Amino acid sequence: MATFVQRLRTIPSWALPLVLGVLLIAAPWLGISADTRRLLLLTCILALVTSGLSLSFGYAGELALGQTAMYATGAYLTGYLAMHWINDLLLLVVVSAAASLIVGLISGVPGLRLGGWSLAMTSFFLVLLVPEIIELLEEYTGGAVGMVGIPHPRLFGHKLTTVTFYVVVSVITVIWFTVMRNLVTSRHGVALQVLRQSPVLASSLGISVYRLKLTAYAVGAIPAGIAGALFAYVDKYLSPSSFGFTLAVTVLAAAILGGAKSIYGALIGAAIMQYGPLRSTDFEQYAQVIYGVFLIIAGTLVANGLAGLANRAIRLARDRWDRPVVTAAPIPSTLDGPTGPAERPGLAPLPGARLEVSGLMKRFGGLQALGGVSLTAEPGQITALIGPNGSGKTTLLNMVCGYYRTDAGTIRIGASDITGAKTYRVARAGVSRTFQTPLFPEDISVREAVAAGMYMPRYVGMLSSILRLPNYRRTARADRAETTTVLRLVGVDHLADVEAASLPAGTRRLVEVARALASRPKVLLLDEVASGLDEDEIERLADLIRAIRDAGTTVVLVEHNFKLVLELADVIRVLAQGELIASGTPAEIENHPRVLAEYLGVQQEVAQQ
């Protein structure tokens, strides 16, 4: 049995979808009836619309129902052009896709600018306006009566029969889901999942949250426009009632049921909807009530859809036969001792830069978090930042990273002034950091999680990723080699294919350091990186931090473990009540009277005795 499972695992992940795609295209020659062929046709069209929602909602985490508007745009544009200008299916599919992309950009900009649930609300109102807009443009759309007289589809001048039209639709569907698969399984797919998990994390990796969300929403509009172009030819008649709120909820239901965070979940959900509720003639009368109940039940019991349940079953079966040991291996002995970067195979020299903070001030209402703090951190040194809770340590890091705006003061990285810069620009300037709670999206491996740190430093365009061009392939090979090197350095290379979010807290912290290191930072900010680790893990972490320092990076360590700080730091800066109260070597700080009073409470203990 184990041998059989191992053989199954050697089969490429794309093999089964490819076989199913071929069967879908060849369905007319497999003896199916005309009624079944029509249901498959409508399933393909609904799956195209649903895949756009899966991309923006399932992967980017931005709920938007605007696919209905893009669907209507493609349908009516195709119908009008086919009747009055040119009737070529392929050309009209391209035109509809481009028009829907434009509509997606126009409708997405204001919603994403406002943030929060604004895109969901603006797209919701856009859906409600679609029938009204169709009636206002009655001269072109036929208004409430509908668009009548759409001709039979033609391709390169040849009239398509119902069978050849079905084949064209199925081929387009297979091509689109191949495009989506290539996009989702590329570095862009991981970036979208990081964005869904935490926009803060995404921006810390140099990703522009606004731009990536807008890109996902706009790209998700393309299959909706294509579906609209195909739908115009199905019955050769378009009615405003086909593009209302009920369609928007249908698409949402298909995405949730099939699995919004799945490449092929849209196909599963669309098939169930077409062969289930949408086939009933009595369904439309009670559609909204049924959909409401359905979404509540499906969202509660099948949170990741049927595709999610299938993936979970596959993981359980795989883990049963091949369960990895989730532990961190020792840091290689080559990292021990005073040797320099050239003697450390696997840790190339890193381009450190001086961090200079001058007169930094920040208030939150009536609370002064920082009161004119000035300090520096030099390349090739570990600068520790310590102080009691509420002293302003994390506030200072957040201001360096651009999460908070400065009230006064300047922040410089080398010769670059980054004061007031947005977080993703600060990250691109060479600042990388860890967080008090390590964050990793579900369902991505340790290797993919670490490679996310290279997303912007070694950027590859979406088109190159989709078409798997040589630039993408070269970058993918380089990513794999570098992540292997970094993971080996951290001591977790044996966990490269394990889900990152499933690891123990201590191991996740090591993986997070690896992700930060993968971006080759000039300045590395470590925020409570030893929190929750046992003694062995702390020892491994200390060796790793020393190795990073010796490679040339500027390391800023915020840590409550005073013993670890004394062992690691070259320079210690002490904050209390938003002010810098002491600065010096570990030996000087260890016996500093005010530090002992403010940070360790020694005076209070003496007074009580």
pLDDT at 441: 87
Copy the structure tokens of residue 330: 């020792």
More confident site: 341 or 28 = 28
Map tokens 């989506």 to a residue: 180
Q: What is the C-alpha to C-alpha distance for residues 456 and 431, in angstroms, rounded to an integer? A: 13
Checking if the pLDDT of 609 tops 70, the result is no
Residue 340 pLDDT > 50, yes or no?
no
Could you give the CA distance from residue 194 to residue 215 in angstroms, rounded to a whole number?
15
**Least confident interval from 21-35, 75-89, 230-244, 247-261:** 247-261
pLDDT per residue as tens digits for the range 560-600: 888 899 999 999 999 888 888 888 899 888 887 777 776 65
Average pLDDT value for residue range 168-193: 93
Query: Contact 196/441 with Cβ under 8 angstroms?
Result: yes
Domains of the chain: 35-157+207-275+287-315 (no CATH), 353-430+521-609 (3.40.50.300)
Alpha carbons 54 and 264: distance in angstroms, whole number? 10
Closest CA to 403 of 362, 356, 367, 457: 362
CA nearest neighbour of 539 among 340, 386, 330: 330
For residue 317, what is the enclosing H or E element?
Answer: helix 305-321
CA distance 99 to 124: 19
Whether pLDDT at 486 is above 60: yes
Nearest to 494 by CA among 505, 477, 507: 507
pLDDT of 53-92, one tens digit each? 888 888 888 777 788 889 999 999 999 999 999 999 999 9
Segment among 221-225, 263-267, 600-604 with least mean pLDDT: 600-604
Residue 115 vs residues 54, 214, 356: alpha-carbon distances, Å: 19, 11, 32
**Position 380 pLDDT exceeds 70:** yes
- Alpha-helical (H) ranges within 86-240 are 89-114, 118-136, 138-141, 162-184, 187-197, 199-204, 209-231
Stated as kind and residue range, the H or E segment containing 523 is: strand 523-527
DSSP letters spanning 219-245:
HHHHHHHHHHHHHTTTSSEE-GGGGSH
- Tokens 């084949």 belong to 167
Cβ–Cβ < 8 Å for 25, 173: no
Is residue 343 scored above 50 in pLDDT? no
Residue 7 has pLDDT above 90, yes or no: no
Percentage of the chain exceeding pLDDT 90: 32
Q: What is the pLDDT of residue 254?
A: 85
pLDDT over 50 at 321, yes or no: yes
Measured distance CA(376)–CA(574) in Å, rounded: 12
Residues above pLDDT 70, as percent of the chain: 82
* Position 179, amino acid: V
Q: Cα(353)–Cα(70) distance, rounded to whole angstroms?
A: 48
For 247-294, the pLDDT digits (tens) are: 888 888 888 888 878 888 888 888 888 876 655 555 555 555 655 665
The reported pLDDT for the residue numbered 338 is 38
pLDDT confidence of residue 344? 41
Separation CA 212–CA 306 (nearest Å): 27
pLDDT tens, residue by residue, 90-137: 999 999 999 999 988 887 777 666 665 666 677 777 777 787 888 888
- CA pair distance 11, 22, nearest whole angstrom: 17
pLDDT at 465: 92
Confidence of residue 170 (pLDDT cuts 50, 70, 90): very high
- Residue pair 295/256 in contact (Cβ under 8 Å)? The answer is yes
Residue 179 has pLDDT above 60, yes or no: yes
Range of weakest confidence among 406-420, 456-470, 556-570, 589-603: 589-603
Sign of the CA dihedral 421, 424, 430, 434?
positive
- pLDDT given for residue 336 in this prediction: 42
Could you tell me if 283 and 290 are in contact, meaning their C-beta atoms sit under 8 angstroms apart? yes
- What's the pLDDT score for residue 605? 43
Residue 608 has pLDDT above 80, yes or no: no
At 382 the three-state DSSP class reads strand
Per-residue pLDDT at 606 exceeds 50: no
Structure-model confidence comparison of residues 38 and 315, the more confident one: 38
pLDDT (0 to 100) of residue 301: 55
Tens digits of per-residue pLDDT, 526-559? 988 888 777 888 888 888 899 899 989 999 999 8
> Would you give the DSSP letter of residue 583?
E
pLDDT at 253: 82
For residue 305, name the pLDDT band (cuts at 50, 70, 90). Answer: low
Q: What is the DSSP letter of 499?
A: B
Please report which confidence band the pLDDT of residue 525 belongs to, taking 50, 70 and 90 as the band edges. Answer: very high
Check residue 17 and give its pLDDT.
Answer: 80
**pLDDT for position 557:** 94
pLDDT given at position 593: 79
Helical (H) or strand (E) element with 410: strand 408-413
How confident is the model at residue 225, as a pLDDT?
A: 94
Average pLDDT over every residue of 459-466:
90
Please tell me the least confidently modeled range out of 79-88, 322-331, 387-396.
Answer: 322-331
Q: Which of 269, 211, 173, 175 is nearest to 60 (CA)?
A: 211
